[in-house]
Each structure stands twice: as C-alpha cells, then as structure tokens.
Structure 1
C-alpha cells in the first residue's frame, strides 16, 4: 500500500500517513498488526527476523505500507500499488 506521508511530524490529517493506513486496516478488521509491515526510511518492519523471508508460507505479512519503496527499485514478486 503506497501512502503520501511517513514522517513522524507529517501526520496532519490532510494526507494519508503510514500510521493512518495501518490503523485503518486494523480497525476495520481486515488484518491484525502482525500482518502489516511498514517500510520507510525511518521504519523497517521487514528487518524483524520473522519478516525477512516474505515468500515463506509461515510469514504473516500480507500488506507492506510504504511511500516510495517501489519507485526506488524495491522488488517483490507480489507487490502491487493500490
């Protein structure tokens, strides 16, 4: 999921922030926290040992929230921009 903002001081309610997207996914019951990873310059949930092998059938990550990782050449076979 691509968002507009990721910085800690950029959560202004006028732009879609990474934490807003994560909270929304949890609040509507789509996913639980373990199924959501944030990958930004400041936050890298993919570095956690349980999230390092995205292709593993036991990996719980279903959504990766980012701002520009796809534009920077980050590659994952199942990545889509919504």
Structure 2
C-alpha cells in the first residue's frame, strides 16, 4: 500500500529498442543521455539487440526517454 509517509518501493520500468547503434560508444551515448532523466536509477543497453531497459524510482514518460535517445543521435522503435 502506498501512502504519503510510505512510498512504493516498486521500481518503474521502460523497455524499448534503439536503432542505429554500431559500437560501444553508441551504447555509452544512449546510456548517458537516458541516465540524465529525473528519477532514472538504472539504464541497460544491449548493442547486439538494441534492447533498452530503464528503471526508475518514479514513472518514466515514453516521450522523455524517446527524446533522450534522439538527443544521443539514435531512434527508439
């Protein structure tokens, strides 16, 4: 149960696929940009599959994640 004095400990997650990455630098760029979103606690990016998994301590709006990926120079599909 979530109350003002006892917030939920359940993490919020976002999953997507990043296209256009070709190297470890690409992964680092996406990770850095997405990590700057308020509330993000963990970012995992897989170069081979393009899988993006983001965990946060608050809701993660898809438009903010998409904007961060695009700021890094890639696309979120």
Please give the TM-score of this superposition, normalised by the length of structure 1.
0.30
Larger Rg: 2
Please give the TM-score of this superposition, normalised by the length of structure 2.
0.31
